[in-house]
Structure 1
Amino acid sequence: MSVRKERAARTEVALKEAARQLFVERGYLNTKITDITAAAGRSAGSFYEHFSSKENLLQALLADMHGQAGEAIAGEAVVGGGTVGGAAGDAGHPREHDLTDRAQLRAHLAVAWRVMRANLPVVVALYESAINRGVRSDALWEQLVQDTAVLCEHLEYLRERGHRLPGEPVLVAAAMGALLSTLAYALLPSNEAGFSDDDVIDTLTELLLAGVRGDPSESGDPSGPGEPSEPGEPLQPR
């Protein structure tokens, strides 16, 4: 890497880190580009060499967050269910995961929660940015769909196996994502309630597991879920 490229890379990192700090301290809406450049020790002009706007910077931080999630989930082991992802470095994330299996669902939720914890400034900024666009904006919905694409793929896989979901995969996945992100936005900045990560992940797992599995009493419905399994085991499709 040339000296010029190395300097540019350092500037980009400094701007991102400054933004992350300020988004938590002041909030996304109250942070100006000049605040970010001052905190990063860079000139205002250097900002526009890397980002076209504050929103563009936020999208770059979101891309970094998605990259971290992909790396974290790639080798996440699941007891009794193989791995959540393939080998480290795989380009894609296998869709053949059974979210009616407690271990597999918990592993996905754990990765999502811990990545959001590590990227709290991005969670805060995304929430504030979407709300600021107004109630008629599709920004929040579009973000939810994008952020929950992996969950949606897994839910579509379940439906293809004959399992009846509580709704369309894209809607169920978005609802799961909204629950996660809103809880993170409300709880993580201070966590005065004192809940541990395991408290949150276990609670979310049990809550969402019941919804994804469905009601075994409806198994007489030809389009319904398969025969009930032992607690903690995935449903078997008909």
Structure 2
Amino acid sequence: MKRKEKAAETETALKAAAQRLFATRGYLNTKITDITAEAGRAAGSFYNHFASKEELLESLLGDLESAGDDDARKAEHSPDFSDPAAIRFHIRAFWSFHREHTATMRALRQAALVNEDFARTLGEFSRAQSEEITGHVDYVTKAGFELPGPPAASVAMMSALIDNFVQMWHDGLVDLAEEDAIDALTRFVYRGFTGRDY
């Protein structure tokens, strides 16, 4: 195996090991030596790829950004939030995204609690994600509906609601089947944006 390919394989193995450990132990309770042991790599190999555990987590954050961009490019994506089907698509995409990346998302939140720089990085990431869909609510006002607040604030409310609800559902705190939960969220958000049921 070429050196470059081996390095890429090691980086991938370290990130996968970190995600497994973050899922079982949490970010704060995972050490770099735990990650290298879980990955089956020498302890020093970590520093050939990452300067710190925070830098590894920032790399995982970059992976999340790429995965989110892939969802936005899907053919069925519609930005028209006056259409409940478009809202449901976004909720379903976030739901699937959260399921696939739960360990990383929890690790990001834990790191933000103890590291001010990381808190800023995560805040900027969240803000950028919200800004990407702020234009989606323009369709709501163009269709003659009145948003509950300015577009950016309305999107922030929607994002916080969905994020917290999905976390509660994954933690077993909401007693609804997955599709029923997604439908309930869609109805709630659509009603919040338009004042109407569908």
For the aligned pair, the TM-score class normalised by the smaller chain equals: 0.7 to 0.9
Q: CA RMSD in A?
A: 2.6
Contact 2:17 2:38 (C-alpha < 8 Å) held by counterparts: yes
- Structure 1 match to 2:34: 35
- Structure 2 match to 1:208: 189
Contact 2:14 2:46 (C-alpha < 8 Å) held by counterparts: yes
- Structure 1 match to 2:127: 145
Q: Any residues of structure 2 matched to 1:94-173 within 5 Å, and which?
A: 97-133=79-115, 141-156=123-138, 158-159=140-141, 163-173=145-155
Shift in CA distance, 51/162, structure 1 to aligned 2, threshold 3 Å: farther
Distance 1:200 1:123 in 2: 20
Q: Which runs of 5+ in 2 are unaligned?
A: none
Shift in CA distance, 140/72, structure 1 to aligned 2, threshold 3 Å: closer
Distance 1:102 1:30 in 2: 41
Distance 1:140 1:159 in 2: 30
Tell which has more relative contact order, 1 or 2 (C-alpha 8 A, sep 6+): 2
- Structure 2 match to 1:93: none
Distance 1:125 1:22 in 2: 10
More helix by share: 2
Query: How many residues in Structure 1 have an aligned counterpart in Structure 2?
Result: 196
Shift in CA distance, 159/34, structure 1 to aligned 2, threshold 3 Å: farther
Between structure 1 and structure 2, the one with the greater Rg is 1
Q: Secondary structure at the match of 2:48?
A: coil
Q: Secondary structure at the match of 2:172?
A: coil
The alignment's TM-score, normalised by the length of structure 1, stands at 0.72
Range with bigger deviation, 19-28 or 169-178: 169-178
Q: Percent identity?
A: 38
The alignment's TM-score, normalised by the length of structure 2, stands at 0.84
Q: 1:164 deviation in Å? A: 3.2
Q: 1:27 deviation in Å? A: 0.7
- Structure 2 match to 1:184: 166
Flag as ranges the 4+ runs of structure 1 deviating above 6 A. none
